[in-house]
Amino acid sequence: MNASNILLLIIVAQIVSVNLGFDKSQNVLSKSKIIHLNGAIGPESVAFDPNGEGPYIGVADGRILKLQLGLQNRLFWADFAVTSSHRRNCTLPFAPEMEHICGRPLGLRFDTKTGDLYIADAYLGLQVVGLKGGLATPLVQKFEGKPLVFTNDVDIDGDVIYFTDTSTKYQRWQFLTSFSSGDTTGRLMKYDKSTKKVTVLLDNLAFANGVALSKNRSFVLVTETTNFRILRYWLKGPLAGTHDVFVELPGFPDNIRINPKGEFWVALQAIRSVSSISDSKFGMLHFTPQQMDEGELHPTAIKLSDDGRVLEALEDVEGKTLRSISDIEEKDGKLWIGSVVMPFLRVYGL
């Protein structure tokens, strides 16, 4: 099954009725530039190291790659790290049947103080690797004696690592079953580096996905993909230990990333036009391959304030040049746009 077919199959769930009341959408993402991966696909997450080097991406064959400048100022992707030592047969750009052996790195975040890269590998759990790269070291692969089934994303606050386990029933390759079954076994978890203790902060989540801490570290956000919303778990203040709905969204939220101003970029895998959403309630709809072919559904980048207000939405309304978004990393006036299924990274200048 090729990447395009997988993307079509992703859009199988029903979308909830929502009215953003928002009119600042811009149909500009088709202008983003492509950086090809050359023999790899699926740069699901994007990260830059504390020295500003990168980006670093995790791809479908289990490698983590780093973009570097070579001879004659040509960019190239260099191997940086892997999450599995069993690499003998990990030669194909896309081989879902090998992911549990080769690894599938999803969420990537650098510790700005130590320079360590923390990795959420879908099959091999929470891992870490130093700035020199190489084979990553597992940190959390089990909880209460049971293996993590679908580790997805990660964020860091000093000695505490926040991460998601998308499901306790279904692995990454079974994501369609997780969607269609209404699975709500996802979890938001934390790992304390000093004590090595793992704690569940939130459970019963519908496809727990992206994770992002607020700028002042007072709360952490987690996306619930099949519930089309983002939850906020309070870490400090009078509401500490409780959670609420940060925002409801008109599409499937994937990763969420904070920008230098403390705002959040959310990658929506599929959405109807934001301009039409602001004027109408579109109720319960099924996304079909025909809708995708006609460009009716398309990925969108939405920027949120630190209190959940929609500030901006960037779209490729026709959905012909940008068919999937899984991550949006803002750096130096540019958006670096990842995709779990495409053979390239995109860059859009703000």
Question: What pLDDT is recorded for position 277?
Answer: 34
Q: What integer is the mean pLDDT of 286-314?
A: 72
Which strands sit side by side in the sheet containing 46-47, from one edge to the other?
Answer: 46-47, 56-58, 63-69, 75-82, 134-135
Q: How confident is the model at residue 335 (pLDDT cuts 50, 70, 90)?
A: very high
Half-sphere exposure of 144 (CA within 13 A, CB side): 4
Q: How confident is the model at residue 12 (pLDDT cuts 50, 70, 90)?
A: very low
SS (H, E, C) 60-95: CCCEEEEEEECHHHCEEEEEEEECCCCCCCCCCCCC
- Judged against a pLDDT cut of 50, whether residue 212 lies above it is answered with yes
Residues contacting residue 149 through CB under 8 Å, at least 6 positions apart: 165, 166, 167, 168, 169, 170, 171
- Judged against a pLDDT cut of 60, whether residue 260 lies above it is answered with yes
Question: What pLDDT is recorded for position 73?
Answer: 81
pLDDT per position as a tens digit, 131-186: 999 999 999 999 999 999 999 999 999 999 999 999 999 888 887 788 778 899 99
Topology of the domain covering 3-349: Neuraminidase (2.120.10)
Q: How confident is the model at residue 279 (pLDDT cuts 50, 70, 90)?
A: very low
* Nearest-angstrom CA–CA distance, 77 and 35: 10
For residue 333, the tally of other CB atoms under 10 A from its CB is: 8
- Annotated domain spans of the chain: 3-349
Q: Which residues pair with 53 in a beta bridge?
A: none
Q: Which residues pair with 328 in a beta bridge?
A: 337
CA-based max dimension of the chain: 56
Q: What integer is the mean pLDDT of 281-297?
A: 39
Q: Which amino acid is at 339?
A: S
- Judged against a pLDDT cut of 90, whether residue 10 lies above it is answered with no
Q: What is the pTM of this model?
A: 0.87
Q: What is the overall mean pLDDT for the chain?
A: 86
- Judged against a pLDDT cut of 50, whether residue 8 lies above it is answered with no
